[in-house]
Structure 1
Amino acid sequence: MPVSESLLHLTQDPQFWAGQLSEADDLPPQLRVSFPVVGGYALVLDIELPSGERTLGLRCPASSEPVQLGWAPADGPYPAALQWWELESCARVIALADPTLPHPGLVVALLSPFAPATADDDVTWIAAVREAAYRSLRREVPAAAPAGPEQTPLPLFSDAQWWPAPAAPSPQVLDEAAIAALSAPGRATLTVRADKRFPHEQLAELVRRAAAELRHLPQEDWYAQTRPLARRIADSGDLLFVPALLGALTEAGCDHPTVLDALSEPLMPLEACWMVETLAGAEPGTLLRHHV
């Protein structure tokens, strides 16, 4: 898994997502997460501590260090280093390669600020995917302390109203207000792609390879056998037949954890949507737009 324990710990702090670091004393001065995409290309995020400044880079097959795509202070504003469809394609390929990074999930949560909406984007779609990504953030919570008296109380005070249980902490990292604020896709204001040093050719090659990877998947083995059913679901916009698709894939011998998890109960609509779109060879958003 490319995400270190230190970064995972940081992402479980709501203040991190607000651009503020409340506890960074025990962390190294820099955290790096590298998301391998395809063909030796990777998206690399560096986080400076304690400032929280973030740098998004692109690592190419021929180099060990990433080329900078964009930089931002902890609380923004973020540059338009990626277009949304570029991030969406890469996040899907990353999820297929690493079942521990489902989509929408941590990849979108960390990198989507670098892909603000443009005039050509469907902001409703983007907001829904970002919301699902931030909702996916989970943390371990301690078991609730036993409620009630240590000794048997007098009958007058035996009712549960006298011994209210303490509120249990939520495993969800962010509350509803924070999710709403983060999910709103910011508009592109800082342009970095016009800079002559921006790695246009390398990024275009990464995106081309990611798109080719997604196009090739439904032609493989058991996916080809179930593609007509996936296409029917994508065209209808109805997730009712997703269990049938899951059953057909299982019978055909599919054992890909990312594919099976995305189509299994409890069904996460946006996760199921992108998987069905991919298996159907459909344009991204074909099914998803029916569910946002």
Structure 2
Amino acid sequence: MAAGDAAGQDGNVPVPEALRRLSLDAGFWTGEISDAELLPDLLRVSFPVLDGYALILEIELPSGERTLGLRRPSSSEPIQLGWAPAGGPYPAALRWWELETCARVIALADPTLPHPGLVTALLSPFAPATADDDVPSVAGIREAAYRSLRRPVPPPPPSGPEQDPLPLFREDRWWPVPPAPSPQVLDEAAIAALSDPTQAVDQVRAGKRFPHEDLADLVRRATAHLDALPRRDWYTLTRPLARQITETGDLTPVRALLGALTEAGCDHPTVLDALSEPLVALEACWMVETLAGAEPGTLLRHHV
């Protein structure tokens, strides 16, 4: 079986071109891949989190079946967390807050994977909301992730006459402008369906082979990594302003926060991009929460 492997054991690697192409196909997200030619039989993408841990997603083509795994430090092969057919149903392999924590750490390490974005779009079906979650916030983050899927759109061809028409044909109705294709990969109906944080029926975490200890260790390390960020370098100087934003729920001072970080010498691309115009509210929210050392969701729930 031919395979496309997206990553080695260590470090950040670009998302493979095959997955980039698939992510621009609406059918890939809705369970009906339209064109799998020239793609590997098995596509494996690795999302390194930290300290040698990584979340591994394997996609079989053309069926679209997906397997989520956890790779441990000093191990080359992942332990399976869950499996699902292309259109679901998906197992509850991850708690939502576990995925949210890992996605934030991944985004901090790799500016090409902002949050909410491709990581959340791919893995959130394996992390359904539970009664303990803030369901509107979960739905809002998932929606933002699917809306972040954008494709290049060529400029529309000229629709007017090539030369000055006769007076009778000068009205716009004679030269209708063709509808411009949407840069969004998914239409509104698909986004709404995919964003619904319905509960999974397959509770794989009850199985004896589920790697509870390894997953708990990863999440513990990721949480500590995020908690330590506001106490590092220039972030300590801007923490009061970040706290003010989380307390009020008003994103207006984000521009001032960005300016203060830049003036203090911050050059972290993920941090700066999340706070830059055009502002994506939920992306700015998690970054401000992290810089403030606030509980995840403190600011976000004001904007969903």
Normalising by structure 1, we get a TM-score of 0.98
| Structure 1 residue 157 displacement after superposition | 1.0
Give the conservation status (yes or no) of the 8 Å contact 2:91–2:126.
Answer: yes
Q: Gapped runs of 5+ residues in structure 1?
A: none
Amino acid in the other structure paired with 2:190? A
Offset at residue 150 of structure 1 (A):
3.7
Tell me which residue corresponds to 2:77.
65
Rounded to whole Å, the distance in 2 between the matches of 1:158 and 1:244 is 50
Report Cα offsets for 1:165-203 as digits up to 9, x if no partner.
111111111111111111110113111011111111111
Contact 2:89–2:200 (CA<8 Å) still a contact in 1?
A: no
1:253 to 265, 269, 276: 265
Matched, 1:78 2:86: no
Match of 1:135 among 121, 139, 147: 147
- 1:20 matches 2:32: yes
- State the one-letter code of the partner of 2:85: P
Distance 1:125 1:275 in 2: 15
The alpha-carbon deviation at position 239 of structure 1 amounts to 1.1
Q: Given residue 223 of structure 1, which amino acid in structure 2 is its aligned partner? A: Y
Rounded to whole Å, the distance in 2 between the matches of 1:44 and 1:190 is: 20
CA deviation after TM superposition for structure 1 residue 163, in Å:
1.1
Other-structure match for 2:101 = 89
User: What secondary structure, in the 3-state scheme, does the structure 1 residue paired with 2:80 have?
Assistant: strand
Distance 2:99 2:26 in 1: 23
One-letter code aligned to 1:139: R
CA displacement, residues 148-170 of structure 1 (integer Å, 9 cap, x when unaligned): 23444322112221011111111
Offset of residue 140 of structure 1: 1.0
Equivalences for residues 33-72 of structure 1 within 5 A: 33-72=45-84
Does 1:11 pair with 2:33? Answer: no
Q: Which residue number in structure 2 is paired with residue 161 of structure 1?
A: 173
Are the aligned partners of 1:277 and 1:286 in contact in 2 as well (CA < 8 Å)? yes
- Report the alpha carbon displacement of residue 207 of structure 1 after superposing the two structures with TM: 0.4
What's the TM-score once normalised by structure 2's chain length? 0.94
Q: Deviations over 1:37-62 (max 9, x none)?
A: 01011101000001000000011111
Q: What residue number does 1:215 align with? A: 227
User: d(CA) in 1 for partners of 2:61 and 2:200?
Assistant: 26
- Report if aligned partners of 2:36, 2:62 keep a CA contact under 8 Å in 1: yes
Equivalent residue of 2:150, what SS? coil
Cα distance in 2 for residues equivalent to 1:187 and 1:224: 39
1:206 and 2:218 matched: yes
For residue 127 of structure 1, report the CA deviation from its aligned partner.
0.2
SS of the residue corresponding to residue 240 of structure 1 reads: coil
| C-alpha contact 2:141 2:282 (8 A) present in aligned 1 | yes
For residue 233 of structure 2, what is the amino acid of its counterpart?
A: D
- Where does residue 125 of structure 1 map in the other structure? 137
Aligned-residue offset at 1:237: 1.3
Partner of 2:116: 104
| Cα deviation code 1:253-287 (max 9, x no counterpart) | 00101101111111111111100100011110011
- Which deviates more, 91-100 or 26-35? 26-35
Structure 2 residue 285 is matched with structure 1 residue 286:
no
C-alpha separation between the residues in 2 aligned to 1:93 and 1:170?
31
Which consecutive segments of 4 or more residues in structure 1 shift more than 4 A? none
8 Å contact 1:109–1:130 — kept in the other structure?
Answer: yes
Using the alignment, how far apart are the partners of 2:199 and 2:212 within structure 1?
21
Rounded Cα–Cα distance in structure 2 between residues aligned with 1:61 and 1:162: 66
In the TM superposition, what whole-angstrom CA distance separates every residue of 1:206-247 from its partner, at most 9, and x where no partner exists?
101110110111110000111111111111211121111111
| Aligned mates of 1:148, 1:242 — CA distance in 2 | 43
- In the alignment, the residues of structure 2 paired with residue 195 and residue 42 of structure 1 have an alpha-carbon distance, to the nearest angstrom, of 21
Q: What SS does the aligned partner of 1:35 have? A: strand
Structure 2: gaps spanning 5 or more residues: 1-12
Aligned residues: 292
Map of 1:149-188 to 2, 5 A cutoff?
A: 149-188=161-200
